[in-house]
Amino acid sequence: MKILIINAGSSSQKSCLYDLTNNYLPEHSIEPIWEANIDWTVARDQGILTVKANGTRKNHYINYDYPCQGISQMLNTLIQGKTRVIKNFSDINIVGHRVVHGGTDYSEATLITPDVKAAIARLIPLAPTHNPSHIKAIQAIEQILENVPQVAVFDTAFHCHIPLKSAAYPIPYKWLEKGIRRYGFHGISHKYCAEKVSQILNKPLTSLKLITCHLGNGCSLTAIKNGISIDTTMGFTPLEGLMMGTRSGSIDPAILIHLIRKYNFTANQLNTMLNKESGFQGVSGISADLRSIIQAVNEGNSRAQLAFDMYIHRLRLHLGAMLGSLGGLDTLVFTAGVGENSAIVREKTCEAFGFIGLKLDPNKNNNSPVNTDIADDDSTVRILVIHTEENWAIAQECWKIFNQISLP
């Protein structure tokens, strides 16, 4: 069976195609037979489509004339030219979408129906840069691949069981009733990593206390107990919690009141500042990319040093909070671009937690670890670096749903 994955973002469109058998789902991930990415940041109303398949890589310039234009051109590479991997679109059995916000209505992957589409649209105010893109992608697939089932895999779903004492904000209760609460994000990645820990350690997930650190341009931590998310750092939006590439993370809310009163900031200006001009970018004035920050630190740049020190401090701070929620820790997990590739971030983070018996092995940490334990042999807490594979996690959910709906 052919499973198409669509990961629609605010400025990009990532997709891949998996080829699986109907009666067997591999325990470990497999490579997609086709991958494509549209980057819309290149120029106004134009993007670059990059496609990899059959051992070749092709770039195309595409124009954005209407919502399904980019997806249509992207999907045509599945059936045309050197990147052709299927005869026609009818070979595709099911399509899976990563959807950032599903609210509290969806705790698992869900077959997309008109009601599901309406729910995604209704949640646009809570995810204004992502949910509109998801709706457009779903509508485009409906036009291009008629009658092919589509599945929504929600980033918020894994966090649906967080207890109310963690999910609710200490503001008047009426706002909780109106949906202002902590939802959590990166759930697909956190869930995948938790399951991967169970495989690597050969221990049942229900016996483990985990903290998963998804550290990329966006960052979040999740405390996982018995396979269930019980606390996480992102909240009502993906802005809460850790310091990130361009996002501030948690700050004193009175700062916003002060900026409005003293400097006449508008809601849009505050949103831009907190989401696009803060974090590494805002503090350093150099870049949102950790690699550039570290290079500047090595060159003696004091603002880059401050940005790095703040990042590590806040990471440790929130790790302590997750540790308190769990009441103990069996395994600490690092994943995503920074978590998987930055030995110095892992080293500096772990330094603060020797008091709980957590001890990093420097040689293992510096040896580009992937899906392996980098803790010292006498560490009482295991430390794993896991390559997160959200697309594969979505494909697994699609495989399960397709086999359910195909049963006689």
d(CA 18, CA 67): 25
Q: Is 111 exposed, middle or buried (0-12, 13-18, 19+ CB in 10 A)?
A: middle
Give me the percent of the chain exceeding a pLDDT of 70.
96
The dihedral through the CA atoms of 353, 354, 356, 360 has a sign that is positive
d(CA 292, CA 285): 11
Q: Is 262 exposed, middle or buried (0-12, 13-18, 19+ CB in 10 A)?
A: exposed
Q: What is the mean pLDDT of residues 258-281?
A: 96
Residue 406 · residue 21 · CB < 8 Å: no
Which tens digit of pLDDT belongs to each residue from 168-220?
999 999 999 999 999 999 999 999 999 999 999 999 999 999 999 999 989 99
Active site residues: 155
Distances (CA, A) of 226 to 153, 321, 358: 21, 18, 21
- Report DSSP letters for 220-232, one per residue: EEEEEETTEEEEE
> Which of 66, 65, 44, 48 shows the shortest CA–CA distance to 57?
48
DSSP assignment letter at 360: B
Q: Read off the pLDDT band of 146 (50, 70, 90).
A: confident
Question: Does position 282 have pLDDT exceeding 70, yes or no?
Answer: yes
Residues 6+ apart with CB under 8 A from 117: 135, 138
d(CA 42, CA 57): 19
Which tens digit of pLDDT belongs to each residue from 388-397?
999 999 999 9
Domains of the chain: 2-154 (3.30.420.40), 203-385 (3.30.420.40)
